[in-house]
Structures are given as C-alpha cells and as structure tokens.
C-alpha cells in the first residue's frame, strides 16, 4: 500500500455569494459539509436574515406594529425556510453516503414580555429529514463559559434561588449529523482512506456524544462577533472523522473561514460560500497566503 510522505496538492475556493444556489458545484461532488449557520431568533442575526429575505424584514415590521404571537411564529418559520433552501442544495451536491454536520444552538428570547425557547436543532432535524437526509446521533458541545453567579445575577436567569420561576442555563450547542443515502463504499485497502485513519484515543474521544471545550474567543469587532466562529477543534474533528484526504469539504456559511483553514491543514479540498463581502479580509487573514501545494481561488459573483 502506498504511503504519502509529502503533502497532497489541494484545491480551495471561496465564493462570495449565496449558498441557496450553489451553481458552481455539480450533483454529488461533495463528500462532507461542515458549517455553523446564523442562528434563528438570536437578535444578533436579525439584520442578516432581514437582508437575505424581504419576507422576514416585512414580518419584523409587522411585529413592531402589532406585536402578535402569530407574527413571532411566522418569523421563526421564515428564518428556517431560508436555511432549508441551503440544506436542500447541500443534499444535491453531497455524494451518496456524504455527511452533513451542522453546528447550531437553540435560542431563548423575550419578545413583548414573553420569554421562551426556540428549539433550532429540532426544527433543522425535521426539515433535513423531509429533504431526505438520514439523521445520525448528534454531538452536544458543552461550552464551559457560564459560571455560577451571586444572588441570581449573571449566568442564571429568573428568580435566582427562589422557586419556581428560574430558567435552566443553556451551556450546550448541538452538532447535528446527517447522511445522504447509504454508507459510502471504498475499494479494498484504499490508500488515502488508510492515510486518513485516526488513533484509538482519538476515536474514543471524538465519537463520544459530549464534547467539552471553550468556544472561540471573539474580538471586539461587531463584524467578527457576528461570524460566531466555532473553535478550530470542532472543524478538525469533524473533517478527520467524516472525510478522507483529497476529498471535498463544503461550508455554505463560511463566516471567518475556519472550515477552509482546517481543510487546508488536513489535506482536504474545500469550497466555502459567504454573502458578506466585508468578511473577505477576515477570511484571507485566517487562511493566510497560498502555500506550496495549496491552490486558492476567490470567486466574486
């Protein structure tokens, strides 16, 4: 069996445009999708959703005028309908047996005096199953960022030490895993597959359901905070777990470019979509200049 002692040449594309239509990609050409989309019903991403979909912007105007609960439900549904178009395109471009990994957090929000949970992970699961994906066991990413506080102030919500009106602190996000079609098949003793193997220690750690490590420290820049970059470690694990060297990794919400950076480091090819042109300097800074064995192409629609 051939052993690869030098880094493979890999191809990478960053496309400045919407991933609702990935016209640059043919059917079944992607082996893995890794992404963290904007989270519905998190106020930080309201503007992004409104710019992306005039229907959502109109619903927010209605909410500001009448404040009805039905309008809130329509906003939540419309945000997931926007994301669903991307999941549908992802299904098209994934190969048979390809894996989709979606890092998503649920949202809590008070609107017109009513506090409630918006379970983004369950809505995405429902949508992806309707598209045709097979749901696989998910991962809980526990972020040890919330610390106990004094007299109920800070991390904990509600009445502090007095029952019954306090709320559970949300300190976990979901990494949802889906497969298109049946298990992938490989030739016997496929060289690149063997070159991509992980260790027993890595397997035991990565394939457990709870991952516990801190999130990425964000800068003071509002632009960079809105990318909600996940840690390199999440992309590293998922790419190593669910793809083989030389294969194509997709990120339809590229943000600051983490997925592209980690794909480069692990000898995978990549393609990433990002709608905000202001993030271009952030992406290029993160992934660095083109290195030997790496071809990087920036496409502006």
What domains are defined for the chain?
10-300 (3.40.50.150)
Contacts of 93 (CB under 8 A, 6+ apart): 22, 25, 26, 27, 28, 29, 30, 250
Whether residue 150 has pLDDT greater than 80: no
Where is average pLDDT lowest: 12-21, 66-75, 292-301?
Answer: 292-301
Mean predicted confidence (pLDDT) in 4-18: 82
Encode pLDDT of 168-223 as tens digits: 889 999 999 999 999 999 999 999 999 999 999 999 999 999 999 876 655 545 55
Where is average pLDDT lowest: 44-58, 169-183, 285-299?
Answer: 285-299
Confidence of residue 2 (pLDDT cuts 50, 70, 90): very low
Contact 248, 27 (CB under 8 A): no
Nearest-angstrom CA–CA distance, 2 and 6: 12
Other Cβ atoms less than 10 A from the Cβ of 61: the count is 11
Alpha carbon 300 to chain centroid, angstroms: 22
pLDDT at 210 (0 to 100):
97
- Where is pLDDT greater, at 37 or 286? 37
Nearest-angstrom CA–CA distance, 107 and 120: 7
Mean predicted confidence (pLDDT) in 55-65: 94
Whether residue 249 has pLDDT greater than 80: yes
pLDDT at 153 (0 to 100):
46
Confidence of residue 285 (pLDDT cuts 50, 70, 90): confident
SS3 content of the chain, % helix, strand, coil (to 5): 35, 25, 40
Written as six digits, the tokens of 224 are: 């960079």
Mean pLDDT estimate for the chain: 89
CA atoms within 13 A on the CB side of 9: 3
DSSP labels for 47-105?
Answer: HHHHHH-HHHHHHHHHHHHH--HHHHHHHHHHHHHHHHHHHHHHHHHEEEEEEEEEEE-
pLDDT at 289 (0 to 100):
55
Whether residue 155 has pLDDT greater than 70: no
Nearest-angstrom CA–CA distance, 179 and 235: 17
pLDDT at 158 (0 to 100):
66
Confidence of residue 230 (pLDDT cuts 50, 70, 90): confident
Where is average pLDDT lowest: 36-40, 178-182, 248-252, 293-297?
Answer: 293-297
pLDDT at 164 (0 to 100):
87
Confidence of residue 65 (pLDDT cuts 50, 70, 90): confident
Whether residue 40 has pLDDT greater than 90: yes
| Token pair 């632009």 in the structure block, residue | 223
Whether residue 276 has pLDDT greater than 80: yes
Mean predicted confidence (pLDDT) in 83-111: 97
Which of 54-68, 227-241, 244-258 is predicted most confidently?
244-258
Nearest-angstrom CA–CA distance, 265 and 267: 6
pLDDT at 12 (0 to 100):
95
Strands (E), the chain: 10-16, 30-35, 94-104, 107-111, 114-118, 134-142, 172-179, 210-212, 248-251, 269-274, 294-300
Mean predicted confidence (pLDDT) in 62-91: 94
Nearest-angstrom CA–CA distance, 186 and 68: 54
Where is average pLDDT lowest: 32-46, 112-126, 144-158, 167-181?
Answer: 144-158
């Amino acid at each position: 069996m051939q052993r690869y002692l030098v880094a493979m040449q890999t191809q990478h594309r960053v496309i400045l445009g919407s991933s609702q239509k990935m016209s640059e990609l043919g059917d079944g050409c992607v082996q893995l999708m890794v992404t963290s989309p904007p989270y519905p019903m998190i106020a930080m991403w309201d503007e992004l959703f409104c710019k992306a979909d005039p229907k959502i912007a109109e619903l927010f105007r209605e909410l500001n005028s009448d404040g009805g609960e039905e309008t809130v439900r329509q906003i939540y549904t419309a945000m997931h309908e926007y994301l669903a178009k991307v999941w549908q395109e992802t299904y098209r471009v994934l190969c048979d047996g390809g894996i989709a990994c979606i890092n998503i957090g649920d949202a809590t929000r008070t609107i017109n005096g009513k506090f409630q949970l918006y379970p983004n992970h369950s809505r995405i699961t429902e949508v992806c199953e309707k598209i045709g994906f097979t749901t696989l066991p998910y991962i809980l990413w526990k972020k040890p960022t919330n610390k106990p506080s004094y007299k109920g102030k800070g991390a904990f919500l509600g009445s502090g030490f007095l029952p019954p009106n306090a709320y559970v602190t949300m300190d976990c996000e979901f990494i949802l895993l889906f497969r298109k079609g049946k298990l992938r098949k490989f030739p016997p003793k496929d060289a690149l597959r063997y070159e991509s193997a992980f260790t027993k220690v890595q397997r035991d750690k990565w394939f457990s359901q709870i991952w516990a490590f801190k999130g990425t420290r964000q800068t003071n820049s509002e632009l960079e905070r809105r990318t909600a970059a996940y840690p390199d470690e999440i992309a590293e694990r998922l790419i190593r777990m669910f793809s083989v060297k030389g294969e194509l990794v997709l990120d339809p919400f590229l943000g600051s470019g983490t997925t592209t950076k980690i794909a480069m480091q692990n000898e995978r090819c990549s393609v990433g979509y990002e709608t905000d042109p202001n993030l271009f300097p952030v992406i290029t800074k993160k992934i660095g200049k083109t290195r030997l064995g790496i071809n990087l192409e920036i496409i502006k629609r």
